[in-house]
């Protein structure tokens, strides 16, 4: 892997592989490491990968460059050491070249932390030298935040002013709720688009258990839970028709349920059927 760059993305392996496949990016040695997914790619595809994961939900970084690229960086660094130092001290002397404040105005001011995080990823940070950045891409990323309808970025002296407007209906949520389980069962799949996972696949969950918690004001994802349930159906008389009616009651829970057992026994007034079955229950949050 010496000639490949190693990348880290805060996203599930399934999401990473799906997005890179769509972008026709060759991926090597993809691994899940906690909340991060790491993989190797060719140096020439780094910019394309960063464009694919430009959404603020994804935290993408370069762990290391390929051998050829790293060697080129070292040579360039040594050759430009003196020039780089002169440019740095020149920038320090010229205060107007620095960003001393990043201000977020408008009805979307409550998204200030998310907006500043996006600007930081684009190279605009308080206390650092101001440099040209991809303004259209930055605005597009801010517009992707929940409820944002307008964004404008301008520089005023040593400050960068970002005006963010949100629609009234979705602006300033009083509380961002987590994704919680509404059934008892076993967690089979958990996909986090925005937020932080608060449960692990394979564990038992109960009604009210948190599955995904917000990351600031952002949360989006879905979960699939395997549920086992038993229903009781009573008929005035037994027979195949009564048995089929008992099985049909399972469809009220899921059309794809799997019947695990069916038993019957006589009771006062007829026959009682007990049907035990399992099904996959899906819950989503902000996935429209």
- Enter the pTM of the model: 0.42
Write out the residue range of the structural domain in which residue 138 sits: 91-166
Residue 74, pLDDT score: 54
Average pLDDT along the chain, 288 residues, taken 10 residues at a time: 79 83 84 84 85 76 69 52 53 60 86 88 86 88 86 88 79 68 92 88 92 82 90 81 82 81 84 88 80
Give the strands of the sheet with 159-166, arranged side by side.
101-105, 159-166, 148-156
Residue 174, pLDDT score: 47
Q: Do both 155 and 179 map to the same domain?
A: no
Q: Do both 278 and 183 map to the same domain?
A: yes
Residue 205, pLDDT score: 92
Asked whether residue 81 is domain-assigned, the answer is no
Residue 91, pLDDT score: 46
Token pair in block for residue 205: 């969950």
Asked whether residue 138 is domain-assigned, the answer is yes
Residue 2, pLDDT score: 59
Q: Find the CATH number of the domain harbouring 30.
A: 3.30.70.260
Residue 187, pLDDT score: 94
Asked whether residue 84 is domain-assigned, the answer is no
Residue 149, pLDDT score: 87
Q: Find the CATH number of the domain harbouring 130.
A: 3.10.20
Q: Are the beta carbons of 275 and 260 closer than 8 angstroms? A: no
- Measure the CA–CA gap between 266 and 264, rounded to whole angstroms: 7
Domain boundary among 131, 166, 201: 166
Ordered alpha helix ranges (H), 23-148: 46-52, 67-79, 81-93, 112-121, 135-143
Q: Do both 284 and 203 map to the same domain?
A: yes
Domain boundary among 143, 166, 189: 166
Q: How many residues in total does the chain contain?
A: 288
Radius of gyration, alpha carbons of the chain: 27
């Amino acid at each position: 892997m010496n000639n490949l760059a190693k990348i880290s993305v805060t996203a599930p392996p399934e999401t990473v592989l799906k997005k890179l496949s769509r972008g026709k990016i060759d991926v090597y040695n993809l691994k899940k490491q906690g909340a991060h997914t790491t993989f190797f790619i060719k140096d020439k595809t780094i910019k394309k990968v960063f464009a694919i994961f430009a959404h603020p939900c994804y935290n993408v970084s370069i762990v290391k460059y390929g051998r050829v690229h790293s060697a080129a960086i070292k040579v360039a660094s040594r050759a430009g050491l003196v020039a780089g130092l002169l440019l740095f001290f020149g920038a320090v002397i010229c205060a107007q070249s620095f960003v001393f404040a990043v201000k977020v105005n408008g009805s979307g001011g409550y998204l200030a932390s998310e907006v500043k995080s996006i600007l930081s990823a684009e190279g605009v940070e308080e206390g650092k030298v101001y440099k040209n950045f991809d303004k259209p891409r930055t605005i597009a990323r801010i517009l992707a935040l929940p409820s944002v309808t307008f964004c404008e970025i301008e520089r005023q002296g040593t400050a960068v002013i970002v005006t963010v407007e949100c629609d009234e209906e979705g602006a300033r949520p009083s509380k961002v709720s987590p994704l919680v389980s509404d059934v008892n069962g076993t967690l089979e799949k958990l996909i986090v688009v925005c937020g932080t996972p608060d449960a692990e696949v394979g564990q038992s969950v109960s009604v009210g258990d948190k599955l995904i918690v917000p990351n600031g004001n952002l949360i989006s994802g879905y979960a699939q839970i395997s549920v086992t349930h038993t229903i009781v159906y009573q008929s005035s008389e037994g027979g195949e028709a009564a048995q089929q009616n008992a099985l049909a009651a399972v469809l009220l829970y899921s059309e794809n349920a799997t019947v695990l057992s069916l038993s019957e026994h006589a009771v006062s007034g007829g026959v009682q059927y007990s049907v035990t079955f399992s099904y996959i229950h899906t819950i989503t949050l902000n996935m429209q």
